[in-house]
Amino acid sequence: MSTPLSPRRPLGSSGLDVSPICLGGNVFGWTADLDASFAVLDQFIELGGNFIDTANVYSGWVPGHHGGESETIIGRWLTERGVRDRVVIATKVGMGSGTFDKGLSREQIRRGAEESLSRLQVDTIDLYYAHEDDPATPLDETMATFDELVSEGLVRAVGSSNYAADRLREALDTSARHGTVAFTAHQPRFNLLDRDSYEGPLEQLCRERGLGVAPYFALARGFLSGKYRPDQPLPTSGRAAGVARDYMNPRGWRVLETVDRIAAGHGVSQTQVSIAWLLERPGITAPIVSATSPAQVAELADAAAVRLSREDIAALDAAGAR
């Protein structure tokens, strides 16, 4: 019997086959404690999911945290459940937060990989992202270091995150020129409302070069789930102020109204429509979405089965247009 999160999708030319939903690990150790995190992870693989995303800095922004909390919880789960061979683990290096310095120098990448491997309790990182661009370090040095990690078997594939199109192109060309490992996946900020940084040159480049794309903030930090309304108090989450600043405006309400209408027409949730729109986008492999309960995981898994019509997609596109 098939599961909601099957079949797998190839993640570009990485050699990794992943579920159509990637489980975001930024909440582990933050809004989801150890037990809640284990319950979410258990439900995810039970429903056929295999793609889990984290970063060394998660959750260094929380008072009293240092970063590494998410990786540590995932590592405990992998070991206690004995499921390492059933999952694709993606983590990141290079963003400054908590006790971690920004940068993609050889020293920082190698130290970051060794520390992540230890916290995750694995021998190999399946997908290792450059979390953000580092203009201060030559791309030759960055890509040569990633090449070392792959050659040594510490990393299987590498990806980029938060790169502008020109810098991503330069990184890919640097790898081709020197014969080093190249980025095979990209992680942009992209959803029905955050579209400017991905649509256009970056999306075209990812499709031209065959990169797998796993967008983050797939639900616009929860706004597209429908829990924010113009006539209701803000949720008590730590993200509420930022959501209000960025999305609670005429364009945001216009998009949410369209999502509401289409969700009602399909008998599904706003979350599922918002994710389905991403999955219908050519070039998108697996949106990254976080969950703090098994029920939320089930809702995300069901989103992979939602099929939007061309009219639905056109309406959503138009609602979010600037």
Q: For residue 44, which amino acid is it?
A: F
Exposed/middle/buried for 197, CB within 10 Å: 0-12, 13-18, 19+? middle
What percent of the chain has pLDDT above 70? 99
Residue 252 lies in a domain: no
**pLDDT tens digits, 30-82:** 999 999 999 999 999 999 999 999 999 999 888 999 999 999 999 999 999 99
Give the Cα separation of 243 and 246 in Å (integer): 5
Give the Cα separation of 158 and 160 in Å (integer): 7
Single out the residue of 169, 209, 160, 156 nearest to residue 189, CA to CA: 160
Give the Cα separation of 156 and 19 in Å (integer): 17
Provide the CATH number for the domain around residue 42: 3.20.20.100
Q: Determine the pLDDT at residue 270.
A: 98
Contact 59, 103 (CB under 8 A): no
Q: Determine the pLDDT at residue 215.
A: 98
Residue 113 lies in a domain: yes
Strand partners for 185: 159, 212
Residue 288 lies in a domain: yes
Contact 149, 128 (CB under 8 A): yes
Give the Cα separation of 176 and 38 in Å (integer): 41
| 316 contacts: CB under 8 Å, gap ≥ 6 | 192, 255, 258, 259, 262, 273, 277, 308
**Residue 295 is inside which H or E element, if any?**
helix 294-303
Q: For residue 51, which amino acid is it?
A: F
Supply 92's token pair. Answer: 């990141």
Residue entry with tokens 């995190």 = 37
pLDDT profile of the chain (322 residues), mean per 10? 82 98 97 97 98 96 92 98 98 89 96 98 98 98 98 98 98 98 98 97 98 98 94 81 92 97 98 98 98 97 97 97 84
Tally of structural domains, the chain: 1
Give the Cα separation of 38 and 36 in Å (integer): 5
Residue 228 lies in a domain: no
Per DSSP, the residues of 162-216 read S--HHHHHHHHHHHHHHT---EEEEE-B-SSS--TTTTTHHHHHHHHHT-EE--B
Q: Which residues participate in catalysis according to the annotation?
A: 58
Residue 194 lies in a domain: yes
Residue 22 lies in a domain: yes
Q: Determine the pLDDT at residue 1.
A: 37
Q: Determine the pLDDT at residue 69.
A: 97
**Residue 91 is inside which H or E element, if any?**
strand 88-93
Q: Residue 117 is part of which domain span?
A: 9-222+270-308
User: Within a 13 Å sphere around the CA of 173, how many CA atoms are in the beta-carbon half?
Assistant: 7
Q: Determine the pLDDT at residue 279.
A: 98
Instruction: Note the pTM of the prediction, 2 decimals.
Output: 0.96
Residue 3 lies in a domain: no
Residue 13 lies in a domain: yes
Q: Which residues of 302-320 are buried (b: 16+ CB within 10 A; e: fewer)?
A: bbbebebeeebeebbeebb
